[in-house]
Amino acid sequence: MTPDLVIQSERVVTSRGIRKAAVVIRQGKVADIRAYGKTPGKPLLDFGKLVVMPGLVDTHVHINEPGRAGWEGFETATKAAAAGGITTLVDMPLNSSPVITTVKDFRAKIHASKGKLWVDCGFYGGLIPGNTNELKPLMDAGVLGVKAFLVHSGIDEFPNATEADLHSGMPVIAKAKIPLLVHCELSGANPQLAIRNPKSYHDYLATRPREWEQGAIQLMIRLCKEYKCRTHIVHLSSADAVPTLKKARKQKLPLTVETCPHYLFFSAEEIPDADTRFKCAPPIRESENRDRLWRALKDGVIDFIVSDHSPSPPELKMLKEGDFQKAWGGIASLQLGLSIVWTEARKRGFSVEDIARWMCGKPAELVGLKGRKGSLRIGSDADIVVWDPEASFVVEVQSIFHRHKVTPYLGRTLFGKVFRTFLSGQTVFENGRHVDGPHGSIILRSTLSRKRRIKITTKRK
């Protein structure tokens, strides 16, 4: 059979390591991986020494549509993803309006995405007080996981789950064998410490201490052990929790952990007062903490890295006021994740293969897409990013595709430039511009019937 396309390079990241290889693509899938130069015919794209790697999988993104598309929407978010080499997103159940805690709201989310996806996209449902009866219908409808907060989410429509809610919901989630993703901060008796100077980053950092994360993680480990529910700790910021997590791993619990680019790139010492672009929750901590997070990645205690892209309109970041207390807590970085992480990783002796594991393979595994996404192997989707680890660039407003350009990475020099992104073998981004789209599809749980899957796809023929 004649291939639809052959992509070859001297540095192809395969499931068996980096090789000089040719990736044969037929009908949107990887049909074969052959020796470099041993191709079955044209069309052939030869990328020389550029890295050919699986498209990134970002399983922690806030797209916010419907209801808050003015913060971020499907078209702008997925365009940003494609520009950053990301070919699969999974959207959190907030900060859209309505939030995704019922099947009705999930259908509204799917409808809102129609015709706007430049990459493939899945969704999570939410666990909030009183919606345990909605969890099974949501899972049957196709959500890839369930998200819960243990502290105020920032959105009143999505209140935090109590321990009683977790006891009620985790057996249902465990039965479905999908992950429960948990924002692990537990305020306890001190829900919010006083800020003496609202413009002081040091004061803001003190209001969300490491103990909040430690207490919440200890609770989730205990419940994970009790219910054998797949439990995923999102955006770990405190390295103080690493010994606790390491101990839990030795017990073979179904527990996974992620961290985010901003915790690995920035440190509290360098954040200026009143620069609310850096506000997120949990907060960015000190440089020694950052170094320990990198060690936890190396040791496998932290499984992978995702963006937690959580943008807002500039006015909600309170840029003029510089008020860390009132500013929206979220960092926009979706498009830049590969470059942010590689910039730090290369200085610390990590490899391109480490990046592929942390940002492609392991996130895909979390949401049940192992073998289909996040790897280049026969039968996988032909989702590919072509990038140059040696090339650097300066982050500029005009090159950002997020709806809003407010990000603490502006003006930074990053390494790892994306040149081309393929989705199912079709180019969606090339040399700074988007082409041939949108044609991304919605991803639902594999238990759904083929008929149902086709009915709600947004892929354009």
User: In the prediction, which pLDDT does 191 show?
Assistant: 54
User: In the prediction, which pLDDT does 1 show?
Assistant: 60
Cβ–Cβ under 8 Å, residues 264 and 344: yes
User: In the prediction, which pLDDT does 3 show?
Assistant: 76
User: In the prediction, which pLDDT does 38 show?
Assistant: 80
User: In the prediction, which pLDDT does 460 show?
Assistant: 39
User: In the prediction, which pLDDT does 457 show?
Assistant: 39
Q: Which phi and psi (to 5°) does residue 379 adopt? A: 100, -15
The tokens for 226 are 């009790």
Domains of the chain: 55-379+390-415 (3.20.20.140)
The residue count for the chain: 461
User: In the prediction, which pLDDT does 453 show?
Assistant: 39
User: In the prediction, which pLDDT does 43 show?
Assistant: 83
Cβ–Cβ under 8 Å, residues 62 and 330: yes
Helix axes 163-176, 132-141, angle to 10 degrees: 30
User: In the prediction, which pLDDT does 6 show?
Assistant: 95
Taking Cα atoms as reference points, which of 82, 61, 237 lies closest to residue 147? 61
Other beta carbons within 10 Å of 439: 18
Beta strands in 354-425 (DSSP E): 384-394, 413-423
User: In the prediction, which pLDDT does 448 show?
Assistant: 40
Over the chain (461 residues), the average pLDDT of each successive run of 10 is: 87 94 96 87 90 98 97 98 98 97 97 97 98 97 98 96 98 97 85 77 94 97 98 98 96 97 98 98 98 98 98 96 96 97 98 98 98 96 98 97 96 98 97 93 70 37 33
